[in-house]
Amino acid sequence: MAGPDGRTAKDEQLDRDRVDPRGENLTTDQGVRVDDTDNSLQAGERGPTLMEDFHFREKITSFDQERIPERVVHARGAGAYGYFEVTDPLTDFTRADFLCDTSLRTPVFVRFSTVAGSRGSADTVRDVRGFAVKFYTREGNFDLVGNNMPVFFIQDAIKFPDFVHAVKPEPHNEIPQAASAHDTLWDFVQLQPETMHMMMWLMSDRALPRSYRMMQGFGVHTFRLVTADGRATFVKFHWKPKLGTHSLVWDEVQKIAGKDADFNRRDLWDCIEAGAYPEWELGVQLVPEEDEFAYDVDLLDPTKIIPEERVPVRPVGRLVLDRNPENFFAETEQVAFHLGNVVPGIDFSNDPLLQGRLFSYLDTQLIRLGGPNFPQLPVNRPVAPVANNQRDGYHQTRVHRGETSYAPNSIGNGEPTVAGPEGGAYVHYQERVDGNKIRKRSESFKDHFSQATLFWNSMADWEREHIVAAFRFELGKVTRPHIREGVLRHLSQVHGDLARRVAEGLGTEAPPSAPVHEESSPALSQANAPREDIATRKVAILAADGSDAVSLRTVKQRLSAAGALPEVLAAHAGTVTGAGGESIPVDRAMSTMASVLYDAVLVPGGDKAVDTLTSDGLAVHYVAEAYKHGKAVGALGAGRLLLSAAGLRDVAYAENGVRDDRGVVTQGEAGDASEDFCSTFASAIAAHRHWDRDVDAVPA
Ligand code: HDD
């Protein structure tokens, strides 16, 4: 599916759809050239506008109707094209050829999103992130519409409108935007304990991804893989980011929401433009049909995981995003995902959340994209050929030839004909179903707390601290005491320690807690994410007139060589003059950026420069804030003085040689940055954050 130049069938198809008005004369939609688009047609210079001004009317009408309804949920998003390659074929489990044939490069479009906020809301809010992948396979489109958390808030799709109404801004005043910290969400939670496992994820750092490129993805539900001879295996899909799973912190995300509301979107765009292509590994957890009841959780319950330690995640392929869309509206806004888009070899389970989604996505596209022909939009169109008797409707762009649009027919040779399984047709898995029609939740869905406890047990100390702080913040914003009490009652069933610590922050007592199990799943902790790579990490180098240009250049080159993105910041744009009279180009003025937009801060030596920086409150703040957020902070020679000016008092600095004290890396000697300094600083950045610091005493 990829040409010799790596271009996919989807790329070729999209090329044919593109229009480029550059270099053309301005015309109306009817192709008539226009002589003036600045002045409407009037009866006299100061007279009224005339109805016959067709250009004016067409231009304004088109503008008036530019907007389509934003998505009810996941309105805020960013997308990219790329490809998927299977590395370990699943031939024994499925007939889907994109999962079996290692020579295929299947084109994809991926859209990441937040859930609750409107289309214009900030990227960095506490929320679940959507991770929706459209595979344009040779056998039709397959959509894997997942999230960055492996479970969901509710067990049955019929509760989805209730949940979404509760988490969205409150209906009387439309406040708060893109935030779960309000009464209605927590009221729902206290009355619906099945939310508790997901609430643990939502209150954890998983809800604050550093980058879309650094988050996991999950298909959430149990699906089925099916072979050509009709044998099925349960499957759960996992995406693992090559760069590891990393998060921001709460104080940081709140500030970034103001400093750069497009933080995650920009990050995705910039990295793809720079050729640093985001990559994930696709993994599967496979459960034979006969083991359906072998676990203490029901595989059909979307509020549960199967711990990786019990069923390992088998890596099977890789996803690479290597091209930004050309037009946000046409592609990212109009892309239409649907769980019902499956290809032969992939089938559903009876998960009641999944079953309901099978209805909802198609339904929503019909209203959002205005009728049944949205699969013809370029971003939605399969690369597999489409032929059927569906006709007409709003926005029909195809000109169907022939006399017949029905089956069976004799006039048109009976075409298009059905293929049958040998011809590659989709055949539904023949599951035997037998039961009474009832509205009743299965008894096997009843345990709402054990896996919330599992999650808590699996966290590192710093992750627990962040979870406690999140619950305190969110419940602290809840105005009705009975809602807070209701949630605390649930928390006491998750873990007594959690409930007690949250209650303390709310100035109240936790209800008595029952004993809980002690199992944990190390795979759930971000503390166990890979931490070797500094690729695409952003480093702020603080400079002023008199900075040691030699050491600055050395560190910058070393970091860049490892794929990091160091930038020189100074009080003003342009250049500063180094200690030896060198001209140092400034990438950005300090005031246009902020410490929270970087992964690390470095202060080169140079007495005069450090003097200037210590008396610049903004520079001091860059260092203090980076330290408080657990980031790597580096200083060479006199640069150490800026660190002390920033209040980093309990830190041990190098007197000579190099010292790394909990991610604060210093070199005693003035002069060029040593090899040791560069590599120690790089490791401190790769560690992502350093939570063993006492950050409370540092003002920022
Ligand atoms: Fe959903 C969008 C993920 C439950 C109904 N959902 C949407 C998107 C993602 C998810 C990633 C954005 C797709 C895009 O980028 O365009 N949704 C999930 C996951 C769920 C889930 C992982 C649980 C496991 N969703 C869910 C339920 C329902 C919906 C139970 C309804 C019964 N979701 C929708 C929707 C959306 C949507 C209203 C809004 C816009 C759209 O579909 O295209 O139909």
Cβ of 153 below 6 Å from ligand 1: no
Among residues 134, 485, 528, the alpha carbon closest in space to that of 325 is found at 134
Of 660, 689, 688, nearest to 674 by C-alpha is 660
In the structure, what pLDDT confidence band is assigned to residue 695 with cuts at 50, 70 and 90?
Answer: confident
**pLDDT tens digit string along 600-621?**
999 999 999 999 999 999 999 9
Average pLDDT over residues 232-260: 97
Question: Residue 4's pLDDT band (boundaries 50, 70, 90)?
Answer: low
HEC string for 63-76: HHCCCCCCCCCCCC
Query: What distances in angstroms separate CA 482 from CA 186, 190, 475, 478, 489, one per listed residue?
Result: 10, 9, 11, 10, 11
Residue 328 DSSP label: I
Chain segment 124-138, per-residue pLDDT in tens: 999 999 999 999 999
- List the chain domain ranges: 77-376, 452-528, 538-697
Asked if CATH classification 1.20.1370.20 holds for the domain at 452-528, the reply, yes or no, is yes
Ligand 1 close to Cβ of residue 484 (< 6 A): no
Top-level CATH class of 77-376? mainly beta
Per-residue pLDDT of 153-200, as tens digits, reads 999 999 999 999 999 999 999 999 999 999 999 999 999 999 999 999
User: Is the CB of 146 within 6 Å of ligand 1?
Assistant: yes
CA-closest candidate to residue 203, choices 477, 447, 574: 477
Average pLDDT over all residues of the chain:
97
Report the distance separating Cα 155 and Cα 360, nearest Å: 15
Q: Which atom of ligand 1 is nearest to the CA of 356?
A: 32
Q: What burial class does residue 175 get, using C-beta atoms within 10 Å of its C-beta: 0-12 exposed, 13-18 middle, 19+ buried?
A: exposed
* CA angle in degrees (0–180, nearest 5) for 510-512-513: 100
pLDDT at 559 > cutoff 90: yes
Task: Evaluate whether 148 touches 77 at the Cβ level (below 8 Å).
Answer: no
Q: What is the pLDDT of residue 698?
A: 82
Task: Write down the catalytic residue from 25, 55, 141, 147.
Answer: 147
Q: What mean pLDDT is predicted for residues 611-636?
A: 98
Q: What is the mean predicted confidence (pLDDT) over 49-65?
A: 97
The residue-averaged pLDDT of 378-400 equals 97
SS (H, E, C) 518-579: CCCCHHHCHHHCCCCCCCCCEEEEECCCCCCHHHHHHHHHHHHHCCCEEEEEECCCEEEECC
- Local confidence band at 207 (pLDDT 50, 70, 90 cut-offs): very high
Residues 6+ apart with CB under 8 A from 22: none
Residue 118 corresponds to which tokens in the numbers above? Answer: 């409107």
The pick from 238, 360, 366 for probing ligand 1's pocket by mutation, whose C-beta has the most ligand atoms within 8 angstroms, reads: 360
Task: Average the pLDDT over 291-297 and give the result.
Answer: 96
Q: Is 147 in the pocket of ligand 1 (CB under 6 A)?
A: yes
107 has pLDDT over 60: yes
Long-range contacts of 166-172 (CB under 8 A, 24+ apart): 167/115, 167/116, 168/116
Provide the 8-state DSSP code for 330.
I
Q: What is the pLDDT of residue 2?
A: 60
398 CB contacts (<8 Å, ≥6 apart)?
376
Please classify residue 156 by burial: count the beta carbons closer than 10 Å to its beta carbon, then call 0-12 exposed, 13-18 middle and 19+ buried: middle
Peptide bond into 408 cis (omega under 30): yes
Is residue 1 over pLDDT 60? no
**Residues 326-375: pLDDT tens digits?**
999 999 999 999 999 999 999 999 999 999 999 999 999 999 999 999 99
Question: Which among 74, 338, 490, 690 is annotated as catalytic?
Answer: 74
**Section 519-539 average pLDDT:** 95
Counting from 1 in the atom list of ligand 1, the atom nearest the Cα of 74 is 12
Pocket test for ligand 1, best of 128, 329, 337 (most atoms within 8 A of CB): 337
- Tell me if 157 CB under 6 Å of ligand 1: yes
Average pLDDT over residues 556-572: 98
In CATH, what class is 538-697? alpha beta
Ligand 1 centroid–CA 568 distance in Å is 42
Q: Are 292 and 301 in contact (CB under 8 A)?
A: no
Q: How far is CA 435 from CA 223, 301, 431, 559, in A?
A: 21, 18, 13, 63
Contact (CB, 8 A) for 536 and 213: yes
Q: Whose CA is nearest to atom 9 of ligand 1?
A: 130
Q: Could you tell me what percent of the chain has a pLDDT over 90?
A: 96
**Cβ(226) – ligand 1 distance below 6 Å:** no
Residue 238 pLDDT exceeds 60: yes
147 as an active site residue: the answer is: yes
Residue 694 has pLDDT above 90, yes or no: no
Residue 699: per-residue pLDDT: 77
pLDDT > 70 in the chain, percent: 99
**Tokens 């099977």 sit on residue:** 316
Stated pTM of the model: 0.97
Cα separation, 321 vs 79, whole angstroms: 9
Give the tens place of pLDDT for each residue, 639-674.
999 999 999 988 999 999 999 999 999 999 988 999
Active site residue 74: yes
